[in-house]
Structure 1
Amino acid sequence: MPERVQERGPEREQEPAGGGPLRAFGLAEVYNPSMVPTLRPGDQLVVHYGASVRPGDVVVLRHPFRQDLLIVKRAVERRDGGWWVQGDNPYVTNDSREFGVVPDELVIARARLRVRPPRGIQRSPRAALSWVLSAVRPVRADRSLSRRLRAR
C-alpha cells in the first residue's frame, strides 16, 4: 500500500502575495504507518509551508516518482541534491532507501504539531482532559533518532 497524506491547506506555489503569516500553515492527515511510533494513521498534522528544514524534522513532501502523492517522513540529513528522508517505522521502506535523495523543491512543509483524534467517546471530564493533554503535541526534531537512522 503506498504511503500517503491528505493535505488540507494552501501550498507555497498557490499562496497569494500578502496573504499573511497564517496562510503559511495548513493541515495534513496521516494515512499509513511509516512514521509509527511518532505518528499513527488518523493523526492530524499542523504543517508550516516553506519552513526551513533541519536534520531530524518531520516533513511533508511530494513522492519523487509520483508527485501527486504526498508523504510524511523524517529529514535525516542533507546530501548532494537534497534530503535523505526515512520513516520512523523500520518495517516500512517507502523512503530514501527506495527512491534516493529527495530534491529540495519536493519538500513542501515541516510538521509543527500533531493532533491525535479521540479514540471512542470521552464519557467523563477526566477522560476528556486526559485526551486533551495527550492529543496535541509538538512534532520535534529528534536528533538522536536521525543519528540512529543514518547509522543503518
Structure 2
Amino acid sequence: MGTQKGLWSFANKFFTAGVLGLYITDRFASVAPVRGSSMSPTLNPGTTKLMGLSTDDYVLVEKGCLRNYKFSHGDVVVFRSPSNHKERQIKRITALPGEWIGTRRFYDVLKVPEGHCWVEGDNSSSSMDSRSFGPIPLGLVQGRVTHVVWPPQRIGAIERRRPQDTISRL
C-alpha cells in the first residue's frame, strides 16, 4: 500500500511539474537552438568548441512581446517559416507594418503590409529571409531573442541593431 501511495505521489508531482513547465515555456520564456550561419556573427559566429565538440548557440526567447505584438527595429525574433510551418527561423526585424523599404538586391520599393514585418539575417549571403519570401505575418512570430544562454563562453545579451548594408527605410 505504501509503494502505491509513493508512486501516486511521484506521478502527481511529475505531472504538476510538467504542466507548470509547459505553461512557463508557452507564456513567458523558452530556450531555442540556433542552426546555421544566417545570423552570424551575432549568433553562431563560427565553430565554437566545447571540450572538442562543435556547439550551436542556444538562446533565451521571451514571449511577453506577443501580447500586443510589441516589436522594434533590430529585434531578433523566432518565427515559423512561411513556407514550411514545421521549420523555425531566427532573424532580425528590419521593417515594421506600414513602412516603406527598399531592397538593394532587386532595386525595388515596397510597403510592409499591416500585420506583417520584414526580417533579414545578419549574414545576407547565407540567409533565406524576407528578401526570399517577402514580409512575414506577425502571427508567425513566436518570441524575441534576448540572450545567448549556451555555450558558456558566449553567454550574454543580444544587442538590438539594424543591419546597415542590406535594407533601408524610405
Aligned to 1:53: 71
- Aligned equivalents of 1:114, 1:58: Cα separation in 2: 12
* Structure 2 contact 124–166 (Cα < 8 Å) conserved: no
Secondary structure, in 3 states, of the residue corresponding to 1:35?
A: coil
The gaps in structure 2 that reach 5 residues or longer are: 1-18, 45-54, 97-111
Cα 1:92–1:23 change in 2 (3 A) is same
The reply on whether 1:37 has 2:56 as its aligned counterpart is no
- Aligned equivalents of 1:136, 1:31: Cα separation in 2: 17
* Structure 1 contact 50–108 (Cα < 8 Å) conserved: no
Aligned to 1:141: 160
User: Please, what is the CA RMSD of the aligned residues?
Assistant: 2.5
The gaps in structure 1 that reach 5 residues or longer are: 1-14, 119-130
Deviation at 1:38, TM superposition (A): 0.4
Aligned to 1:7: none
Tell me which stretches of 4 or more aligned residues in structure 1 moved more than 2 Å: 19-23
- After TM superposition, the structure 1 stretch with the greater mean CA deviation from structure 2, 41-50 or 99-108, is 41-50
The reply on whether 1:98 has 2:145 as its aligned counterpart is no
The reply on whether 1:108 has 2:108 as its aligned counterpart is no
Q: Taking structure 1 as the reference length, what is the TM-score of the superposition?
A: 0.69
**Higher alpha-carbon Rg:** 2
- Aligned equivalents of 2:87, 2:26: Cα separation in 1: 24
- Aligned equivalents of 1:25, 1:93: Cα separation in 2: 25
Q: Deviations over 1:106-144 (max 9, x none)?
A: 0110001013415xxxxxxxxxxxx3xxx211112114x
Deviation at 1:68, TM superposition (A): 1.1
* Structure 1 contact 76–149 (Cα < 8 Å) conserved: no
Q: Deviations over 1:28-57 (max 9, x none)?
A: 000111000000070010001241211100
- Aligned equivalents of 2:27, 2:72: Cα separation in 1: 22
- Aligned equivalents of 1:77, 1:90: Cα separation in 2: 16
- Aligned equivalents of 2:72, 2:37: Cα separation in 1: 23
Q: How many residues align?
A: 119
Secondary structure, in 3 states, of the residue corresponding to 1:33?
A: coil
* Structure 2 contact 27–64 (Cα < 8 Å) conserved: no
Secondary structure, in 3 states, of the residue corresponding to 2:139?
A: helix
Identical pairs, percent: 33
| Matched letter for residue 48 of structure 1 | E
Q: Deviations over 1:66-118 (max 9, x none)?
A: 01110000011112140100000021130001100000100110001013415
| Matched letter for residue 47 of structure 1 | V
- Aligned equivalents of 2:139, 2:73: Cα separation in 1: 16
